């Protein structure tokens, strides 16, 4: 339901001028796929949470789909603590995931352009951005891959110093391998090939990733020129045998071969690891790696909390009238 209650930049810009009619002196609104939050301050009227929630629901044009019970509100110090936790990834579903920071910055900038940011919001969001920067610089709260797809690409970057001269071969389709392909493209992979038992699916993914489709019945001939193989064909056990990989290795001049097997059942013969310069990681291994990264992030929570406490104390000593501050979100 959260993804339904989303304000685009244009919709947010339309909201800001109307805040003044509610007696609100300052306000910032931002939306992400997982949250929509409105921060307001008034030095003239008492802010009522129900009226703000009603206002948001009306402006979203989907009032019937999002019950008022899905909203909650905070005020005073609780608002400050909440924003600092959101900006540092402490309030994310996966600790340290701070992708929402881009939406916070965008919402703040739009509000500033609409002239609804004053000294209170300026100081509040300035502190949130400072906390995020300190947490990223001084702790490991956002380090390490937290999804199977990002973990696989992180391994590739660790094994190969430079991906720009490397070639990747994707066997399969689906969200996870598409994400891996996107990550590889973002990191400058030199060439990317896609194959699938369904030529149509292979063509769709190759087009999406800006890669090249190759026929499924000849993909083994491309193994010798591949550095990274991502396989995720469901219901196709051992489409790559140890002998297939050994044959490719005999004609290879490229050194290390990284195999990522996400198939259920496995697509790649596990005995392939007996071959020299072949690294094989399956879904279980990557899941363990992600779990270890999340555990390391959680171990950083006390350090981030210490940063937030310092900045919160500094903010409270700034003399701003924080008590009339209110936030509503869904």
If asked whether residues 6 and 134 sit together in one domain, one would say: yes
DSSP 69-103: GG-EEEETHHHHHHHHHHHTTTTSSSTT--THHHH
Question: Are 112 and 202 in the same domain?
Answer: no
* Contact assessment for residue 267 and residue 261, using Cβ atoms and an 8 Å cutoff: yes
Are residues 20 and 104 located together in one domain of the fold?
yes
Prediction pTM value = 0.77
In a domain, 37, yes or no: yes
* Residue 51 falls inside a structural domain: yes
Give the CATH number for residue 122: 3.30.460.30
Domain limits for position 268: 148-290
Give the N- to C-terminal CA distance of the chain in Å, as an integer: 9
pLDDT digits (tens, 9 = 90+) for 74-122: 888 889 999 999 999 999 888 988 888 999 999 999 999 999 999 999 9
Beta bridge partners of 75: 326
3-54 pLDDT tens trace: 456 788 888 888 888 888 888 889 999 988 778 899 998 876 666 777 777 7
Tally the domains of the chain. Answer: 2
User: Max Cα separation, the chain?
Assistant: 79
């Amino acid at each position: 339901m959260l993804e339904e209650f989303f304000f685009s930049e244009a919709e947010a810009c339309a909201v800001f001028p109307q805040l003044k009619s509610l007696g609100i002196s300052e306000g910032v609104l931002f939306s992400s796929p997982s949250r929509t939050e409105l921060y307001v301050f008034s030095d003239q009227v008492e802010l009522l949470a129900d009226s703000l929630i009603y206002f948001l629901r009306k402006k979203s044009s989907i009032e019937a789909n999002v019950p008022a019970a899905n909203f909650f509100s905070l005020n005073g110090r609780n608002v400050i603590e909440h924003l600092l936790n959101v900006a540092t990834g402490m309030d994310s579903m996966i600790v340290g995931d701070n992708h929402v920071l881009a939406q916070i910055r965008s919402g703040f900038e739009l509000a500033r352009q609409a002239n609804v940011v004053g000294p209170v919001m300026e100081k509040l969001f300035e502190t949130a951005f400072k906390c995020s920067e300190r947490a990223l610089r001084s702790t490991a709260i956002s380090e390490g891959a937290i999804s199977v797809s990002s973990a696989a690409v992180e391994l590739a970057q660790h094994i190969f110093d430079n991906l720009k001269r490397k070639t990747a071969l994707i066997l399969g389709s689906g969200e996870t391998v598409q994400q891996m392909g996107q990550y590889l493209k973002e990191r400058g992979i030199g060439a990317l090939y896609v194959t699938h038992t369904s030529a149509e699916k292979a063509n769709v993914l190759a087009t999406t990733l800006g890669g090249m489709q190759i026929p499924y019945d000849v993909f083994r001939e491309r193994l010798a020129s591949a550095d990274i193989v991502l396989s995720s064909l469901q219901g196709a056990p051992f489409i790559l045998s140890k002998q297939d990989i050994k044959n490719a290795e005999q004609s290879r001049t490229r050194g290390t071969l990284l195999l990522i097997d996400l198939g259920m059942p496995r697509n790649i013969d596990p005995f392939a690891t007996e071959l020299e310069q072949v690294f094989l990681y399956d879904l279980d291994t990557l899941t363990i790696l992600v779990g270890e990264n999340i555990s390391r992030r959680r171990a950083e929570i006390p350090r981030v909390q210490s940063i937030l406490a310092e900045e919160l104390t500094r903010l409270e000593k700034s003399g701003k009238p924080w008590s009339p501050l209110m936030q509503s979100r869904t």
